[in-house]
Amino acid sequence: MVRSAPMDPGALRAEWEAWKAERVARLTGERGWLSVVALRWLAPGVNHVEGLPGTFTLREGRVELVARPVDGYAVGGVPVERRVLASDASPVPDVLSLGRRSVMVLERGGKLALRVWDRDAAARRGFEGIETFPFDLAWRVLARWEAWPTPRPVEVVDVTGSVATRLVPGRAIFTMGGRELSLEPTAEGDRLAFVFRDATAGVETYGSGRFLTADGPRDGGLVLDFNRAFNPPCAYTPFATCPLPRPGNVLPIRVTAGERYGPGR
């Protein structure tokens, strides 16, 4: 039996419904995952990128755009002809607008790429919603937090094969179906980010696994609400760089909560 964290059931269901609505809003936004239409990796030197005017020069870890006025690039509504572009690793990345498209530099595992969004993308226009398992309080689990003396660096592989080093501050230990299990998150600010796979993957849920976020631990514990397990961006576009679950984050049980993955998405 899964031990669940207490709270008013009606309030929790309402929060879950609001969370689902926010998920759909973010996916269907003009720069949501359904609008991503390209991911172009850059080579050192001058790059002519298919479908984009101008040139993108990669030198010493920086990307410079050189374009003509007629090309139509702008940042924040201001026309751009020549600019060193801040990547998504920067506090304020540059987002180039180009008609109905947007372009941004990504940095992944020491490599740089251009991500392109199109607000008229077919995936965005044809989106029919996200299928979920029914809300079930039994999947709102109280976990014990075991912190490492210092965060441990681990290698995280993404779907492109790139490897990045992330810090794991500890592990969440919980009981499901009479079995003690654990998941290790990475730290994302004051939140914890879990990438996990369970026995529903590839059948009822997305094949490579799902994501789950949680507030940081308090008094040696935290809440894992699997009702909010969600599909990675790769479920909606082939142009994402989703991390894969590490071996220790593969659960030998069916987690019948959170987002499913089927024809309706």
For residue range 71-83, what is the model confidence (pLDDT) as tens digits?
Answer: 999 999 999 999 9
37 and 99 in one domain? yes
185 and 94 in one domain? no
Residue 83 located in a structural domain = yes
pTM of the model: 0.88
Long-range pairs of 49-56 with CB within 8 A, sequence gap ≥ 24: 49/114, 51/116, 52/98, 52/103, 52/114, 52/116, 53/98, 56/114
What domain range is 222 assigned to?
9-28+128-249
Residue 237 located in a structural domain = yes
CATH of residue 60's domain is: 2.60.200
pLDDT for 248: 94
135 and 96 in one domain? no
- CA pair distance 170, 183, nearest whole angstrom: 9
136 and 19 in one domain? yes
For the chain, the DSSP string reads ---B----HHHHHHHHHHHHHHHHHHHHSTTSGGGEEEEEEPPSEEE--TT--SEEEEETTEEEEE--GGG--EETTEE-SEEEEP-TTSSS---EEETTEEEEEEEETTEEEEEEEETT-HHHHT-----BPPP-GGGEEEEEEEEEEEEEEEEEEBTTS-EEEEEEEEEEEEEETTEEEEE-PEEETTEEEEEEB-TTBTTTB-TT-EEEEEEPPBTTEEEEEGGG-B--GGGT-TT--PBPPPGGGB-SS----SB--STT-
145 and 22 in one domain? yes
142 and 177 in one domain? yes
Domain boundary among the residues 118, 137, 161 is at 118
195 and 159 in one domain? yes
pLDDT for 262: 64
pLDDT for 188: 87
Residue numbers in the chain where pLDDT is lower than 50: 1-2, 263-265
63 and 19 in one domain? no
Residue 123 located in a structural domain = no
pLDDT for 3: 52
Residue 219 located in a structural domain = yes
pLDDT for 130: 94
Residue 255 located in a structural domain = no
138 and 14 in one domain? yes
pLDDT digits (tens, 9 = 90+) for 148-204: 999 999 999 999 888 889 999 999 999 998 899 999 999 988 899 999 999 999 999
- Domains in the chain: how many in total? 2
